[in-house]
Amino acid sequence: MITYQSRKSLAHNLLLRSAISTVLAALMLVCTISALRAQTLNFYSKGTATSFKATDVRSIKFTPKITVSSSTSSTVSSFDFATVDSITVAAASTSNPTGTFTLLSSAFVEGAELPKEYTCDGTSASPPLNWTNLPAGTKSIAVTMHHIVGPTAGMPGLFDTHVYMVIYNIPPATTSLPKNVSGVGLFGINTVNGKTLYTPPCSQGPGTKAYILTVYALSAEPVFSVPQTSVTREILLSAISKTTLGSAVLNVNYTRTLR
């Protein structure tokens, strides 16, 4: 027979175990990651990897229907990815409060992974870009995108460079280029197919590749001795070498899954 005291002890033990289980479960699901504030988390969902900054996380929904919301960067939470149903991340910033000439994109941030749609593995669209705080006296703008492959064989000091986009004679009042840009400025040629248009990254080598987008603020429109169909990035850089008031860079990466 179970006495009153033993039933009381049993109930107490059950309650204690339940409380401990609840606390442990909560600790597994939610813990503060203020130390990760400047780091990047990788979340894999259905085979797709998405990178984002911890400070950009707005809400996290777990499979047990528990939602953790973040209203400030100091309350962003970390978690066991196996329990995650969805993550809501703030849109990439297109503003720059620092007053520095800066190149941005609504599709990605500095050092992030270039979304597939802007590569040959996607729709081959040119990425949307915007810039802020052009230097005073800017009369023309140019934009390029390139990737340094590596040293040129047999030519020390020279590097093989792939160029995906060259645009010049962009009006000084322009503050952005839309996705799949056309009709803004003039296109020079890329090095992939030699055409006056954007050609997406399509690296054949293994590993992550770095791509550099650059915007140039110019004191005058560039003058060339060759037609538009012959304006390369090198020719553009030579033509603007004495009229560049400033430049801003946006670096992105892309890793192809080769089959």
Domains of the chain with CATH codes: 4-89 (no CATH), 102-255 (3.90.280.10)
At residue 12, the pLDDT reads 58
Calpha distance 34→170 (Å, rounded):
42
74: which 2 tokens?
């100091």
15: which 2 tokens?
């309650």
At residue 30, the pLDDT reads 37
Predicted TM-score (pTM) of the model is 0.63
Q: Do 212 and 233 form a contact (C-beta atoms < 8 A)?
A: no
At residue 148, the pLDDT reads 77
Sheet holding 67-69, edge to edge: 67-69, 57-62, 84-89
Q: Which amino acid is at 98?
A: T
Q: Do 189 and 230 form a contact (C-beta atoms < 8 A)?
A: yes
Cβ within 8 Å of residue 25, ≥6 positions away: none
Sites in the chain below the pLDDT cut of 50: 1-5, 23-52, 55, 58-59, 61-77, 79, 89-93, 151-158
